[in-house]
């Protein structure tokens, strides 16, 4: 059973920049956790500290029952899949996969069994004697996975492994990695900047921003109850609509260019707030009522399964995700913002209120 | 799939491009002038070699009176036989074969030594954090500007006091530290992606294993390139062997040629023919090395996908 405990881990680079402020994270056995955030948010730094490729400035990391702060990467019983695959170009696929085992002093027949088992699992048996340069991107990705699973580690680390693949292959590998991880039942930490990857693959997501963990939760929690304005706008495509407003204390929010919005709970804050609503929660009405605003269609984007309506509320861009069934009368439409679908954030701290 | 499609497209477009202009390519004077310049350049490089070869087929008296010869003479075999297989020199103890062997020992020892030393130095500079690493690199780098001649007296002094005059060790070792080689390997190592090193670390390869299992195989093409340069450089060494070796048994070919030319004792004519023959022989190994390694070098470049 491998659980990973990250306890107040902090990273300061020698030049004084703090890449990661003290962060804690508990990962249960067999869990697939995704670290997501924009570039420079510290997600890769955290992963590399877990791998042992980066010194830990403060705090402790334990894998299983061992504190691994001072262990070499090779002693941590981990395997890592890199963004550029990092296959040894002068070795065949077989040698690439066997190299780690060889260094651990495993016997030849042992290595052969392990490699052929992993190769079979990943359907790369026919490539075993080719060089990485003779493989396509997707095949190299499989080999990189193979090199990781052949060692039977207690923890998998993925550093943006799919970002070099084309979109179709990425969708396919996403599912495959997830299936494989369930099958092998190995705790995994996956770093990506792609929020779709995070949503689709994770048991639990940790959203990072500027060296801080903003929120930890299941994909559904992250999506439906974002803890901060950053999480709200980072997760989801198209992104959440954000409007500036002011809480007037009596169950309503005053929004510029829109008027009074009713909300479904009392806020503990006073003053400026930001109001968010996901495009798919916006309803289109033909007549004004409470929580509606008259809008003008700037642009209709056809998605096949639905349509995106682009408009402006004041000077703020606003998007509504519509179904295909209802025709729209472009002269007379109103956007309805249901109170229960509104996300409210303190304008100063960015926290959910 | 997309890559095969693309290469197919490329292939068809290039063949199309090849076919259509070949039919009615307009005549261009620039093509003629380009070739003219190239031909003049090649002649300029080739003529001395041709002259040396032709002169090596004449007897000494002809050359002495007539200068370089531009026709084939009848002493070809004799000159080469004398130069290579008849012991000559002051002590009559050294023939061309011996000098050829010495040149090979110097050239190969020099190149291999330089590769080993500079690879290790570059490995330390690139992959290990130690105090003053940058300073060490710049110190090494600035010595690039200093030719051997600048330090030849102190070097001689050291080798002499170690009793290494007239030994292969003394001939090779003082020359094998190489700023050029270190610099090339440093640049090459820096181009190897960090992820590869990290993958190796996770795979349990320590510094020594990484060096032998990953770095050396990846450096093959670089090693070949440096070997070519350094072998030719070592083979052509003249000043250092001249100072170092007084014993004729340690003479290299380059040194031997000059020795032949310096025998104006009384009315004796230098063995011009033999000297030219030795010069031609001395030229061959570097040419062969370049030709042989070139193929290897290109092959390595094509296959590598780092």
Query: Beta-carbon neighbour count of residue A170 at 10 Å?
Result: 18
pLDDT for position A52:
93
Q: Per the CB < 8 Å rule, is A103 touching B199?
A: no
Name residues of chain A where pLDDT drops below 70: none
Q: Which residues of B touch A (CB under 8 A)?
A: 2-3, 193, 195-196, 198-205, 209, 213-214, 217-218, 220, 303-306
- ipTM over cut 0.90: no
Q: How confident is the model at residue B15 (pLDDT cuts 50, 70, 90)?
A: very low
Domains within chain A, CATH numbers bracketed: 4-232 (3.40.50.300), 239-346 (2.40.50.140)
Q: Is B203 helix (H, G, I), strand (E, B) or coil?
A: coil
pLDDT digits (tens, 9 = 90+) for B118-131: 999 999 999 988 88
pLDDT for position A280:
92
pLDDT digits (tens, 9 = 90+) for A126-158: 999 999 999 998 899 999 999 999 989 999 999
Task: Nearest chain A residue to B303 by CA: give it.
Answer: A133
Chain B interface, best mutation among A72, A82, A91, by max B CB count within 10 A: A82
DSSP secondary structure of A281-314: G-EEESS--TTEEEE---EEEE-SS-EEEEEEET
Q: How many Cβ pairs closer than 8 A exist between chain A and B?
A: 68
Q: Per the CB < 8 Å rule, is A78 touching B202?
A: yes
DSSP secondary structure of B240-261: HHHHH--SGGG--HHHHHHHHH
- Write down the pTM of the prediction: 0.80
Domains within chain B, CATH numbers bracketed: 2-14+24-85 (no CATH), 96-304 (1.10.3720.10)
pLDDT for position A100:
93
- All residues of chain A having their beta carbon less than 8 Å from the beta carbon of residue B5 are none
Task: Let me know: does A5 contact A61? Beta carbons within 8 Å.
Answer: yes
pLDDT digits (tens, 9 = 90+) for B94-113: 788 888 999 999 999 999 99
Cα distance between residue B241 and residue B298, in whole Å: 33
Of the given ranges (A114-123, A295-304, B80-89, B261-270), which has the lowest mean pLDDT? B261-270
Of A82, A89, A166, the CB nearest to B306: A89
pLDDT for position B23:
59
Task: Nearest chain A residue to B204 by CA: give it.
Answer: A74
Measure A265 CA to nearest chain B CA, in Å: 50
Mean pLDDT, residues B220-237: 87
A73 and chain B in contact, CB less than 8 A: yes
B116, pLDDT greater than 60: yes
Task: HSE, CB side, 13 Å, CA atoms: give it for residue A102.
Answer: 14
């Amino acid at each position: 059973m491998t659980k990973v405990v990250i306890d107040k881990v902090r990273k300061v680079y020698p030049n004084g920049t703090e890449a990661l402020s003290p962060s804690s994270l508990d990962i249960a056995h067999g869990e697939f956790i995704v670290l997501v955030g924009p570039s420079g948010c510290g997600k890769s730094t955290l992963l590399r500290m877990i791998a042992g490729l980066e010194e830990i400035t403060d705090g402790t990391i334990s894998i299983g029952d061992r504190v691994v702060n001072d262990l070499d990467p090779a002693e941590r019983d981990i395997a890592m899949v890199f963004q550029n695959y990092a296959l040894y170009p002068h070795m065949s696929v077989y040698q690439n996969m066997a190299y780690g085992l060889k260094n651990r002093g495993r016997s030849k027949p042992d290595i052969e069994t392990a490699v052929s088992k992993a190769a079979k699992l990943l359907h790369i048996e026919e490539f075993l004697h080719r060089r990485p340069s003779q493989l396509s991107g997707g095949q190299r990705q499989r080999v990189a996975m193979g090199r990781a699973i052949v060692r039977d580690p207690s923890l998998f680390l993925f550093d943006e492994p799919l970002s070099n693949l084309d979109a179709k292959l990425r969708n396919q590998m996403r599912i495959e990695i997830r299936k494989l991880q369930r099958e092998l039942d190995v705790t995994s930490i996956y770093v990506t900047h792609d929020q779709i990857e995070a949503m689709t693959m994770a048991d639990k997501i940790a959203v990072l921003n500027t060296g801080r963990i903003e929120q930890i939760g299941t994909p559904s929690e992250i999506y439906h109850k974002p803890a901060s304005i950053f999480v709200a706008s980072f997760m989801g495509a198209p992104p959440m609509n954000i409007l500036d407003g002011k809480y007037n204390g009596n169950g309503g929010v005053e929004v510029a260019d829109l008027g009074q919005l009713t909300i479904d709970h009392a806020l503990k804050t006073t003053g400026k707030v930001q109001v968010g609503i996901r495009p798919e929660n916006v309803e289109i009405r033909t007549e004004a009522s409470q929580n509606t605003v008259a809008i003008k269609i700037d642009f209709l984007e056809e998605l096949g399964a639905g349509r995106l309506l682009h408009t402006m509320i004041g000077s703020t861009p606003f998007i509504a995700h519509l179904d295909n069934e209802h025709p729209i009368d472009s002269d007379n439409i109103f956007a309805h913002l249901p109170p229960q679908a509104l996300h409210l954030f303190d304008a100063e701290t960015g926290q959910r209120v | 799939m997309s890559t095969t499609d693309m290469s197919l497209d490329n292939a068809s477009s290039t063949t199309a491009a090849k076919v259509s202009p070949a039919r009615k390519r307009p005549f261009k004077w620039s093509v003629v002038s380009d070739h003219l310049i190239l031909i003049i350049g090649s002649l300029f490089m080739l003529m001395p070699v041709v002259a040396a070869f032709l002169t090596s087929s004449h007897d000494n008296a002809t050359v002495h009176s007539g200068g370089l010869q531009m026709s084939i003479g009848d002493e070809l075999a004799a000159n080469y036989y004398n130069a290579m297989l008849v012991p000559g020199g002051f002590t009559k103890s050294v023939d061309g074969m011996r000098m050829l062997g010495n040149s090979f020992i110097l050239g190969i020892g020099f190149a291999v030594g330089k590769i080993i030393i500079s690879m290790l130095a570059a490995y330390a500079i690139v992959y290990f954090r130690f105090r003053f690493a940058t300073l060490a690199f710049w110190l090494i780098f600035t010595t690039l500007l200093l030719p051997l001649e600048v330090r030849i007296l102190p070097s001689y002094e050291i080798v002499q006091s170690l009793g290494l005059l007239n030994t292969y060790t003394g001939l090779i070792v003082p020359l094998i530290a190489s700023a050029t080689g270190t610099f090339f390997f440093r640049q090459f190592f820096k181009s190897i992606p960090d992820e590869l090193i990290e993958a190796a670390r996770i795979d349990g390869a320590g510094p020594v294993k990484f060096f032998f299992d990953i770095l050396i195989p990846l450096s093959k093409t670089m090693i070949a390139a440096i070997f070519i340069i350094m072998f030719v450089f070592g083979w052509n060494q003249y000043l250092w062997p001249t100072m170092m070796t007084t014993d004729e048994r340690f003479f290299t070919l380059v040194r031997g040629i000059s020795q032949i030319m310096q025998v104006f004792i009384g009315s004796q004519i230098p063995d011009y023919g033999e000297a030219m023959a030795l010069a031609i022989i001395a030229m061959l190994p570097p040419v062969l090395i370049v030709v042989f390694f070139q193929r290897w070098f290109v092959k390595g470049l094509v296959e590598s996908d780092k």
